[in-house]
Structures are given as C-alpha cells and as structure tokens.
C-alpha cells in the first residue's frame, strides 16, 4: 500500500479483498441465513446439522482473519511512514498525518477485536475512522503543482473521497447523537436517529452514482463505452430488479446481512430504483477499474471495493472499520501516480495507419524541400530507437524564429506531432493562454491529451472560433496575438492544442486519430497506401506558416545578421538523412 512496487504482483491488500469477498458470502450472508431465531415461549430448535456448524466456524475464522489482516496492513503502513516510495510523492506533513491515522485505527481496531466492542471502545474506533477519512481527503486534495500537471484527475479523485467520507461522517454524527444528544430516542427509528440513517443512505447512493466520474479510468470518453463494464452493470441492474420484484423480503435480508443497509421487508421502498441504479453504477466502476490498463487505476478500484465490502452497519465492527480505512488509504496512495500512468498509456497506443519507412522518408524530403522553397532554413533527421520507435526531428528557422518539429512513430504509426517555436517550457509552467480543438465526434479511441493547465476558461463571443476551440488563460493576450485574420485560418486548419507563453515560447501538439483527424496535417492514409503526390506536404507547410505568424507576434525579433555573413554565397543545404 505504499510506493510504485505495491502495483506489481500479489500484495497483502489483494489477499484482503479476496478474504473479504469470502467473508461476505460465508459469515454475513450464509451464516446469517442459517440462523434460527426462537421467539419467547417456543421450544428450542433441534441441533443444527454438522455442516451448519462447520460453515459457522469457517465464517468466524474468515471474519477474524479479515480483521487481523486489515489491522496488520495498517500497522505496516504506520511503521513505514516516511520510508516508503510513496513518501517522495507527497509532503512530509501529509505523509506523517496518514501514517498516524493508520496507527490509531490499527490500535483501536485491535483493542476492540480482542477485548470486545464496548461502548467506549466503539466510540473511540468510530472517532478514529472519521479522523482517518478526513485525513485521507486532505492528503488527496491536490496542491497547485498537481493541479497544473494532472488536470481534472486529482480533483475528481479528491471529490470522490469526499463523497465516500460523507456517509461515514453522517454515521459518526448518529453515534454522537445516540450517546449525548438524544440518548432516550436512540432506539426509535421514527425519531432523530431515523433521519440520520435515511440521510446516510442517501449519501451512500450519491457516492455510488458519482463514482464513475470520480474513480473511473481516464480518458472517460474511451472508458465509458467499453463493453465489459456495460454488460456487468446491465446484468446487475436486471438481476436486482428481478429479485426485488419477486423476492423482496429475502433480498432485503441479504442486503442487510451483506452491507448492513436496513430496508422495510414488508413493503418495497419507493427508492428501490435508486438503490438498483446505485449498485449497477458501482458495478460499472469496479469493473472498469479492474480491467484498466494502468496499475494505479486498478488500485483505486481495489480501494473502492474494500470500502464497499466494509459495509454501512449500525453496529461498529472493528474488522470492517479497519478494512474501510485500508480502502481509503489504498486510494490515496494511488492518486499521485494515476495521472502520469494514464497519460503514458494514452501516448503509447497508435491509432493511425502504418507508413512504410521508405515512403515516410520520401514525405519528409518533400516537406523539407517545400519549406526551403518558401525561403526557410530547415534540416531534418530521423532516428530509430528501441521497440520500433522512430523520431523525425525538423529544426531550423521560420520567419527568423527558431523552430523544432518532432514527429514520433511506433511501428510506422504516427503518435504525435509536436511543434515548438522559442524556448522549451515545462508542462508545469502555465501558459499565457491556450486553445484546444474540440472533438467533432466521440468515438471510443478519441481522447486527446490536454494542454498545460491554465485558467480561467473564456469565450470570445465568435460562433466559429468558440465552437471550434476551448480557450483558457488571458483573453486579452489571445485577442492581441490571434488577430481577426489569424483566428479564421486557425479554425480552418488546426487540430490538437496551441499554448503560448508570452515572450518565450509557442507550442502546438496534435495526436492524429485522437479527437483529431487522422490525415491532418499529414495525409497518413495516402502515405499508408503509397499514393501521396508531390503536394502531400502542403497541409503541414500551411500549418507551420500559421504557427510562424503566431511566433512573430509573441517572440522577440532576433538581432540582424552581420552584413559580411549575409553577402557570402549560401551553401547548398544538406538533404534529410536517416542514420542507422
């Protein structure tokens, strides 16, 4: 539960999840269904069959095993505070806060599990879990640097933790009320405690419904249409609807034993459809996280599953509270790495047709020739790396501003076209303004990485430009840089995003096939079919010319060349080469 190594292999938290699933099925549901309740005045029941006794003892073993394992994981988490690999990804105060909360919950859970759930011990344990939930939320709230680097991902995860925290705090308020505020009405479900329980149930449903948006894999437009999670969610919804309609009393009993939620067994609830939707939404989220490509996202799903398996019981069970705390901290430990992991996963999967190396090099030669014919000084170089990765770099000057174009390919497929005028600026440096092309359609593979974060978002009031781009940053700088002549031409030819750092850099990046046309600005389909003509570089030349106009407005003019050098005859430029 700490550091990148926790993502690899079978960790104790995975064993805890498997044991918890078995404990729910055996100890809570099966043993609860086999219980015989004898009313006053009735004769005692006959002795239970041997297999009943065996199932009961297996359930007891699983219950205490889950509790001991959860407490052990928390104790190890507390002992490794400040020493784990995850410690380097967050500030020291936050790391020590979460380690201290793990130690407190582990100690109180162990005490309650061994000594018993007394009133004082139970209240202290409930207080410790509420404190741990608050600390988990505080640790997950991203700092300014994470907001710039991670976009919406850390904010949504923090919001999801707040949604998970709300039912726990409402339950804690109920415990305080039953103990001090209205102790005489603690057993009356028509009184204040009933309102607290109904509010907690509503908060549970709200947390379940927002879980896909907060914990689901990113990019969301790609994960929301994946077939397996949709099938699982639909199957869960259909199964629960059928069972609730035909076997309401029995299904209420199973839900109460499994997760502690108490419903009226005599009459179907008016919010039954909401409960079914909540379970189906959680099924979608857990399935999506389980089959996610990145290990941190799978760990977030694992933590969410542990919180769900902990349940929402009236009685304070130390084993379940320890498991809920482990789940919260599992989510928190994955937050610092999930954005980078998903961004890396997006970038390494090509979505464009493969182009033969010889055809590609001919196109690069055509592009360089067209740029030189327009009076620009450029050179090109193609280098081959590992795993069939190739990078074509075009450097030189356009409009007397230094330019660098990098085109990355894997197995002949273009991944990204990255163009920069001026200095290199890190993604954690907010640009003066940025514009990002909106996707024309939402297909399953369309998810374009976002530009470096800046704020606020605004619109110019121009239907064509605002309908084509999402604009952020300084509106005044955008209007001054992209004048009335540039904006229509950018609207016509630009995809991906453009970021401008005033006086320092202009950067354009596009991922063909990801919320951007495959053949813009390079006719990749024609190149793949080996039918590109001499005009195949025209779109790229046009785009580079527009970016050069932006650079002229943003970057300072370089000093003039000495006359002696200007009078010398220009040497013929070298042809593009492809080193082995």
Burial of 395 (0-12, 13-18, 19+ CB in 10 A): middle
303: three-class secondary structure by DSSP? helix
Same domain, 512 and 365: yes
Final residue of a domain: which of 311, 339, 367? 339
- The H or E element that residue 194 is part of is helix 192-215
42 belongs to a structural domain: no
pLDDT band at 580 (very low <50, low <70, confident <90, very high): very low
Stretch among 120-134, 338-352, 375-389 having the lowest mean pLDDT: 338-352
510 belongs to a structural domain: yes
What is the b/e burial string over 103-123, where b = at least 16 CB atoms within 10 angstroms of the residue's CB? bbbbbbbbbbbeeeeeeebbb
Contact between 468 and 495 (Cβ < 8 Å) = no
Torsion region of 47: left, alpha or beta (phi above 0 gives left; psi -120 to 50 gives alpha): beta
CA-CA distance, 497 to 470, in Å (whole number)? 9
CA-CA distance, 391 to 145, in Å (whole number)? 30
Give how far Cα 19 sits from Cα of 76, 112, 305, 309, 332, Å.
Answer: 19, 20, 12, 10, 22
3-state helix, strand and coil shares in percent for the chain, rounded to the nearest 5: 60, 10, 30
Residue 326 reports pLDDT greater than 90: yes
pLDDT band at 347 (very low <50, low <70, confident <90, very high): low
8: three-class secondary structure by DSSP? coil
Same domain, 390 and 333: no
Final residue of a domain: which of 282, 310, 339? 339
30 belongs to a structural domain: no
More confident residue, 291 or 226: 291
Same domain, 304 and 383: no
* pLDDT score, position 157: 86
Q: How many domains does the chain have?
A: 2
20 belongs to a structural domain: no
74 belongs to a structural domain: yes
277 belongs to a structural domain: yes
23 belongs to a structural domain: no
pLDDT digit string (tens) for 503-528?
899 999 998 887 788 888 999 998 99
Same domain, 111 and 204: yes
- Identify the domain containing residue 315 by its residue range: 50-339
Length of the chain: 580
Same domain, 373 and 328: no
- For 383, residues 6+ apart whose C-beta sits below 8 A from its C-beta are 390, 391, 393, 579
Same domain, 249 and 389: no
Final residue of a domain: which of 339, 371, 389? 339
Same domain, 516 and 420: yes
CA-CA distance, 280 to 260, in Å (whole number)? 18
Contact between 532 and 359 (Cβ < 8 Å) = yes
202 belongs to a structural domain: yes
Same domain, 128 and 172: yes
Same domain, 382 and 326: no
Instruction: Report the pLDDT averaged over residues 483-488.
Output: 90
Instruction: Report the pLDDT averaged over residues 330-354.
Output: 77
CA-CA distance, 427 to 279, in Å (whole number)? 39
Same domain, 449 and 330: no
Same domain, 90 and 130: yes
Same domain, 176 and 291: yes
Strand ranges inside 411-510, DSSP E = 413-422, 433-437, 457-458, 469-473, 497-501, 505-510
């Amino acid at each position: 539960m700490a550091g990148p190594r926790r993502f690899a292999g079978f960790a104790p938290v995975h064993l805890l999840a498997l044991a918890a699933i078995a404990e729910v099925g055996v100890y809570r549901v099966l043993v609860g269904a086999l219980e015989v309740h004898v009313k006053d005045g009735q004769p005692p029941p006959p002795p239970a069959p041997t297999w009943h006794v065996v199932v009961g003892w297996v359930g007891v073993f699983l219950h205490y095993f889950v509790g001991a394992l959860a407490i052990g994981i928390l104790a190890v988490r507390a002992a490794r505070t400040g020493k784990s690999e995850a410690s380097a990804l967050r500030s020291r105060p936050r790391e020590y806060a979460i380690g201290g909360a793990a130690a407190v919950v582990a100690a109180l859970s162990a005490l309650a599990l061994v000594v018993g759930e007394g009133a004082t011990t139970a209240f202290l344990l409930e207080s410790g879990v509420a404190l741990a939930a608050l600390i988990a939320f505080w640790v997950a709230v991203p700092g300014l640097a994470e907001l710039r680097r991670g976009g919406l991902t850390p904010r949504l995860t923090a919001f999801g933790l707040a949604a998970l925290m709300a039912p726990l705090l409402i339950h804690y308020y109920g415990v305080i009320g039953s103990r001090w505020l209205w102790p005489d009405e603690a057993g009356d479900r028509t009184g204040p405690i009933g309102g607290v329980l109904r509010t907690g149930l509503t908060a549970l449903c709200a947390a379940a419904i927002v879980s896909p948006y907060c914990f689901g894999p990113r990019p969301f437009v790609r994960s929301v249409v994946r077939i397996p999670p949709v099938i699982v969610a639909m199957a869960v919804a259909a199964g629960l609807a059928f069972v609730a309609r035909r076997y309401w009393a029995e299904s209420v009993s199973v839900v109460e034993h499994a997760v502690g939620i108490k419903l009226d067994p005599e009459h179907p609830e008016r919010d039954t459809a909401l409960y079914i939707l909540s379970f189906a939404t959680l099924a979608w989220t857990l399935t999506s996280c389980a089959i996610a490509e990145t290990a941190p996202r799978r760990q977030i799903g694992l933590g969410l599953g542990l919180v769900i398996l902990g349940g929402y019981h009236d009685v304070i069970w130390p084993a379940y509270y320890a498991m809920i705390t482990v789940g919260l901290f599992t989510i928190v430990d994955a937050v610092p790495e999930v954005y980078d992991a998903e961004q890396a996963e997006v970038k390494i999967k090509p979505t464009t047709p493969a182009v033969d190396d010889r055809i590609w090099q001919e196109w690069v030669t055509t592009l360089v020739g067209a740029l030189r014919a327009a009076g620009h000084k450029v050179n090109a170089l193609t280098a081959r790396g590992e795993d069939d990765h190739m990078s074509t770099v075009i450097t030189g000057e356009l409009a007397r501003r230094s330019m660098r174009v990098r085109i990355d390919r894997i197995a002949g497929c273009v991944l990204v076209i990255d163009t920069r005028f001026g200095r290199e600026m890190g993604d954690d440096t907010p640009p003066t303004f940025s514009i990002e092309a909106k996707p024309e359609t939402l297909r399953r593979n369309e998810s374009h990485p976002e530009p470096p974060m800046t704020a606020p978002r605004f619109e110019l009031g121009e239907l064509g430009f605002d309908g084509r781009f999402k604009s952020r940053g300084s509106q005044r700088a955008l209007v001054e840089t992209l004048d009335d002549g540039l904006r229509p031409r950018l609207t016509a030819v630009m995809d991906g995003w453009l970021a401008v750092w005033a006086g320092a850099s202009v950067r354009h990046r596009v991922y063909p096939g990801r919320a951007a046309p495959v053949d813009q600005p390079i006719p990749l389909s024609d190149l793949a079919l080996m039918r590109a003509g001499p005009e195949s570089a025209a779109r790229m030349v046009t785009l580079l010319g527009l970016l050069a106009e932006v650079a002229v407005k943003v970057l300072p003019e370089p000093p003039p060349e000495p006359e002696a050098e200007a009078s010398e005859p220009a040497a013929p430029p070298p042809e593009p080469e492809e080193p082995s």
